[in-house]
Amino acid sequence: MRTLGLVASAGGGMDARLRVEVAEPAVRRGWRLAITVTPIAARWLDAVGELNRLQALTELPVRSQSRLPSQPKPYPMPDAFLFVPATANSLAKLALGIADNQAMTALGEAVGAPAVPVVVCPQADENQRRHPAWAGHLATLAAAGVLIADSAAEPWEPLLDLVEVS
């Protein structure tokens, strides 16, 4: 069974959309989910009961915290990654290689693994996109082989098509 690394940061609507628009459709398509969210995204999801609903879709742990050094990795590298939504903050961290939470660590490893497709769907407003570093971050990720799905923000389910053809 193929494993999809589904990663989310705390972008607007994520708490209502992640399960319905991506996680459940991915399971229907035959993916086993390895879900990792940023710490703030975990707070948002927990506040509305979505962490438990996401956990019910997979036998793998839904992660937001790093494991202890004495603990083994809970699963091998997923076959592909989808990062949705990728906030401006998290996208910048990924482009710069800043692995300050479990979600960024997982994605950073995937970007460094040439055989693992990574699709990123940015979620940033016009002012964030006008920041002078924005275009450079996108270019850095694209040069590393990351597929930037910037025009596919609504709805999220079609992003799964991009993961499957990558």
Residue 145 placed within a domain: yes
Residue 71 placed within a domain: no
Average pLDDT rounded to a whole number, residues 128-153: 93
Tell me, what CATH number does 32's domain have? Answer: 3.40.50.1950
The number of beta carbons lying within 10 Å of the beta carbon of residue 14 is 25
Distance from C-alpha of 163 to C-alpha of 158, rounded to nearest angstrom: 9
Query: Contact at 8 Å (CB) between 41 and 9?
Result: yes
Distance from C-alpha of 17 to C-alpha of 28, rounded to nearest angstrom: 16
Query: Is residue 152 scored above 70 in pLDDT?
Result: no
Q: Whole-prediction pTM value?
A: 0.96
Residue 11 placed within a domain: yes
- When mean pLDDT is compared across 49-58, 72-81, 93-102, 144-153, the lowest value belongs to 144-153
How many distinct structural domains can be found in the chain?
1
Domain region containing 104: 3-66+78-165
Residue 72 placed within a domain: no
Write down the pLDDT at residue 153: 66
Q: What is the pLDDT of residues 80-95, one digit of tens each?
A: 999 999 999 999 999 9
